[in-house]
Each structure stands twice: as structure tokens, then as C-alpha cells.
């Protein structure tokens, strides 16, 4: 395989870490197993982050073209506001924006992703929220209820994936945050992840892929605890794209660090 020729498997002490000349080659390695569902989770850009290309922009430009002819549809973790639910819709939308701290450019990048997927022949799907669902995302104080909103989004994504299957549009790509796609969720987060249920639905043909932009995650306290993280950061700083196998069906792709002039 071309991807295999481009990769370098590290010493046994670093088993599970491979480096590639670019993200496309690393992605080719991931696609070798031909999953029925590829669940991509990003560590997203937040306001004030270093000005480098976001994970969603890199996915759109560098990885998405490889899915032409290999995937039937894309489910994107986003929804369109309509104004039909009045104040509760405004409150919930504002609360989500304040909590996620995404920059204003993110919405444009998601729109670009949908457009590019359509051009490549994928059927696009986003989530639809009812007025009651908007209401359920808020606590009595009008603030975002994190657990309820995450659980709601998990079920919406899962239901949409099954709906797409009924339409005959699998293989499926789900693109969202690096939490809902987890196959081995951290204690207390089991209710917000669709990974185990879709793994059963696909009879094992499910791959979890997390995308990391090194400049965004290098200070992440949780990631620092992972045994592969420090080595992956070093390799990305050397211009390598890093692919880490964290489980039988779980992968982490760290993009190479952006070179400054």
C-alpha cells in the first residue's frame, strides 16, 4: 500500500505510533479497513487560539477528497436555526456559542465542508432541533445544561446515522466533536457517546478518528496524561503527520505543526 510505504513505525516502546509525510497518507491508512461508519471527532478551534488552519478546514481540504466514491453520506454535528421556536431557540443557541467559544469563522467553514462533500457526491445531513429539544438544553436558570445538551446531541447524531442507513446511504461519515464518537468513554460520559451503540449496529465496522491540531491541544491537561501525546507533539513539530492507534478501532491523527515564516 502507498500509505504503508510512506509510514514509519516507531520502536516497540512507541508501538501504535506511525508517521506520514502528510495527512492524506495517514488518512489512507485509516480507510484501509473500509468502515461502514467513520466517526470523526475534532478538538475544535476556540477564540484566541493560534491563527493556524482549523481541524475542520484541514479535513475539508486534505482528507475529504479521499472519501469520493468511498462514502455515501456525511452527517455533520450542527443545526440550522429557523426562528420558529422564538426566545428559547435564541437562548439555547447563544448558550451553546458561549460554552463552545468557537470563533465566528467556524460557521463558514462548516458550510464549506457541506458544499465540498456535495460536490464529491456525498449526501449531506445536519441535525434538526424541535422547540422542546431547545428547551431541554437549558437549566432552570436559563444557562446551558451541559450533560443534557451533550446527551441530546449524541441521540440526535445516532438517530440520524440510523436514518441514513435506512436510506441506503452508508458508508457514512459523521463529523463532530471528539467526545460523542468515543468507543471507550471516560467514566461519567457513557451517556453522551454513540460509539459503542454504532459499533454494535455496524457489527464491528466502525472507526473512531480524532483530529488534533497541535497548536490547539499542546496545553490540554487531559491529553498530557496520554502516554503517546508528548511523542506525537515532538514528531508533529518535525513536520510529520502522526497517526496513533489507541484501540482496535480507535485512531488519533495529529496534523503537522504549521511552519512559521
Quote the pLDDT of residue 46. 65
Closest CA to 25 of 8, 39, 42, 11: 8
- Residue 204 within a domain: no
Residue 27 lies in a domain: no
pLDDT band at 113 (very low <50, low <70, confident <90, very high): very high
Does residue 210 sit within a domain? no
pLDDT of residue 14 exceeding 50, the answer is no
pLDDT digits (tens, 9 = 90+) for 36-95: 999 999 987 666 768 899 999 999 999 999 999 999 999 999 998 889 999 999 999 888
Cell of 107: 460557521
pLDDT, mean over the chain: 90
Q: Is the pLDDT of residue 10 over 60?
A: no
254 has a pLDDT exceeding 90: yes
Q: What is the pLDDT of residue 45?
A: 66
Cβ–Cβ under 8 Å, residues 75 and 156: no
Q: Peptide bond before 171: cis, by omega within 30 degrees of 0?
A: yes
CA 136 to chain centre: 24
What sections of 120-226 are H helices per DSSP? 131-136, 146-166, 195-201, 214-217, 221-224
* Range in 43-52, 160-169, 184-193, 244-253 the model is least confident about: 43-52
Specify the pLDDT at position 257. 96
Given a cut of 90, whether residue 191 has pLDDT beyond it is yes
195 domain residue, yes or no: no
Cell (9 digits) for 254: 495529529
Q: Among 22-31, 84-93, 165-174, 191-200, name the one with the lowest average pLDDT.
A: 84-93
The parent domain of residue 127 ranges over: 45-188
Instruction: Give yes or no for residue 154 having a pLDDT over 80.
Output: yes
127-152 pLDDT, tens digit per residue, is 999 999 999 999 988 888 989 999 99
Q: Regarding predicted confidence, which is higher, 209 or 139?
A: 209
Task: Output the pLDDT for position 107.
Answer: 79
CA distance 3 to 31: 10
- Per-residue pLDDT band at 96 (split at 50, 70, 90): confident
DSSP result, 57-78: HHIIIIIGGGGTTT-SEEEEEE
pLDDT above 90 for 28: yes
Of 58, 231, 13, 18, whose CA–CA distance to 5 is shortest?
18
Do residues 77 and 254 make contact, with C-beta atoms less than 8 angstroms apart? Answer: no
pLDDT at position 6: 29
What's the number of domains the chain is made of? 1
For residue 235, the surrounding DSSP H or E stretch is helix 229-237
Calculate what percentage of the chain has a pLDDT beyond 70: 90
In a domain, 5, yes or no: no
Strand-strand pairing, 123-127 and 172-177: unpaired
Q: Which residue has the higher pLDDT, 101 or 119?
A: 119
* Beta sheet of 172-177, edge-to-edge order: 8-9, 17-20, 241-247, 250-254, 206-212, 37-42, 172-177, 73-79, 123-127
Task: Identify whether the C-beta of residue 92 lies closer than 8 Å to the C-beta of residue 144.
Answer: yes
Question: Are 80 and 141 a contacting pair, CB within 8 Å?
Answer: no
Count how many Cα atoms sit within 13 Å of the Cα of residue 12 in the half-sphere of its side chain.
0
The answer to whether residue 208 sits within a structural domain is no
For residue 254, tell me if it sits in a domain: no
More confident residue, 48 or 247: 247
Q: What mean pLDDT comes out for the span 188-213?
A: 97
Answer yes or no: is 131 within a domain. yes
Amino acid at each position: 500500500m502507498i500509505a504503508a510505504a510512506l509510514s514509519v513505525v516507531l520502536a516497540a516502546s512507541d508501538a501504535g505510533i506511525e508517521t506520514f509525510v502528510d495527512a492524506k497518507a495517514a488518512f489512507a491508512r485509516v480507510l484501509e479497513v473500509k468502515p461502514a461508519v467513520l466517526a470523526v471527532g475534532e478538538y475544535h478551534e476556540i477564540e484566541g487560539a493560534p491563527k493556524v488552519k482549523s481541524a475542520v478546514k484541514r479535513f475539508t481540504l486534505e482528507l475529504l477528497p479521499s472519501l469520493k466514491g468511498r462514502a455515501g453520506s456525511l452527517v455533520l454535528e450542527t443545526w440550522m436555526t429557523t426562528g420558529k421556536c422564538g426566545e428559547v431557540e435564541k437562548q439555547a443557541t447563544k448558550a451553546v456559542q458561549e460554552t463552545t467559544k468557537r470563533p465566528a469563522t467556524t460557521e463558514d467553514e462548516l458550510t464549506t465542508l457541506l458544499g465540498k462533500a456535495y460536490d464529491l457526491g456525498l449526501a449531506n445531513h445536519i441535525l434538526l432541533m424541535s422547540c422542546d429539544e431547545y428547551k431541554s438544553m437549558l437549566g432552570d436558570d436559563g444557562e446551558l445544561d451541559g450533560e443534557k445538551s451533550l446527551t441530546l446531541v449524541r441521540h440526535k447524531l445516532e438517530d440520524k446515522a440510523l436514518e441514513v442507513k435506512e436510506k441506503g446511504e452508508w458508508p457514512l461519515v459523521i463529523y463532530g466533536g471528539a467526545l460523542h464518537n468515543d468507543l471507550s468513554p471516560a467514566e461519567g460520559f457513557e451517556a453522551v457517546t454513540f460509539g459503542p451503540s454504532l459499533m454494535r449496529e455496524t457489527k464491528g465496522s466502525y472507526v473512531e478518528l480524532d483530529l488534533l491540531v497541535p497548536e490547539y491541544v499542546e496545553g490540554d491537561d487531559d491529553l498530557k496524561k496520554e502516554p503517546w501525546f508528548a511523542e506525537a507533539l515532538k514528531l508533529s513539530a518535525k513536520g510529520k503527520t502522526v497517526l496513533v492507534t489507541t484501540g482496535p478501532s480507535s485512531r488519533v491523527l495529529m496534523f503537522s505543526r504549521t511552519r512559521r515564516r
